[in-house]
Structure 1
Amino acid sequence: MEKIKFVADYQINTSKKIIYPYLSTASGLSQWFADDVVINEDKIYNFIYDGENHFARPVIMRTNHHVKFEFSDPYEEEEEESDKPFIEFKLEENELTQTFYLRVIEYGDAYDEQEQASIWEGLIGSLKEIIGG
């Protein structure tokens, strides 16, 4: 199946220190991103939504700046696949306007771009409600 890259910026009215735990911890992510998130002893995150398990390995964890999860099934033979689906969160600030943004980058199976944008609008809306931003 063809993969696409979805990139969107969302203005967030809060500090990096407040939002970062919601992007990087199981308890934070389970409040807005997935129905539940569990981390096993190998530091593999299991994002549970729609009754399905989605396993991801954190490949970037830069405190208060950048988080990236690469998805793969930990129970399958690990292949060197350079085209793995991933989700990435980057916290950025516009120096001129002092405006704070959350950049979402999702790379995975092709979906309708309008549907993808709508899904992320809903997720980010939930996150903003939780953090008050």
Structure 2
Amino acid sequence: MARKKFTLEYIINSSPAILFEFVTDPSSLAQWFADYCDAQEDDYIFGWNGQYQKAELLEILNDDYVKYRWLDSPEDEYFSFKVYKSEISFETVLEVTDFADQKEIKDVSNLWDKQIDDLRYAIGAS
């Protein structure tokens, strides 16, 4: 069964430029997304509790959108971050797109909620 794409949106009390750094810079990613992060050009290595996973940077646009793909995932799956200002509230929004099995979307969404709480703390926006 094909995995489903889903998107989550979070309000982050930060400037878009600072937030974008936290979703692209390896040292910033290591403050909230993983215990460890290193990058050589478009190749990223993320580590959690001594386990490592490799990802490739697929796309980065206008300092507001970045797309990664886990190397052990299907070619058409990715996770991405889009940063923008809400036209209505003028708040900074982080849009996360990911893939999961239909029955796991809630659990994966909860994991993203925890990760974004960690991001808010790291960025000083909690």
Q: TM-score, normalised by structure 2?
A: 0.85
Could you tell me which amino acid in structure 2 is paired with residue 130 of structure 1?
A: A
Q: Tell me the residue number matched to 2:120.
A: 128
Where in structure 1 are there 5+ consecutive unaligned residues? 74-80
Where in structure 2 are there 5+ consecutive unaligned residues? none
- What is the CA distance between 1:67 and its match in structure 2? 0.8
How far apart are the structure 2 equivalents of 1:104 and 1:20? 12
The DSSP-based 3-state class of the residue aligned with 2:55 is strand
How far apart are the structure 2 equivalents of 1:50 and 1:2? 29
Residues 42-91 of structure 1 show CA distances to partners (whole Å, capped at 9, x for unaligned) of 53101112433221111112253011112215xxxxxxx97443110000
Quick one: structure 1 residues 111 and 71, their matched pair in 2 at CA, closer, same or farther if it must change by over 3 Å? farther
Q: Is the 8 A contact 2:4 2:101 kept in 1?
A: yes
Percent of aligned pairs with the same amino acid: 26
- Number of residue equivalences: 125
Q: Which runs of 4+ in 1 moved over 6 A?
A: none
Correspondences of 1:56-71 after superposition (within 5 Å): 56-71=55-70
How far apart are the structure 2 equivalents of 1:114 and 1:16? 27
Root-mean-square deviation (CA, aligned residues, Å) is 2.2
Which entry has the higher C-alpha Rg, 1 or 2?
1
Q: Tell me the residue number matched to 1:43.
A: 42
How far apart are the structure 2 equivalents of 1:69 and 1:49? 17
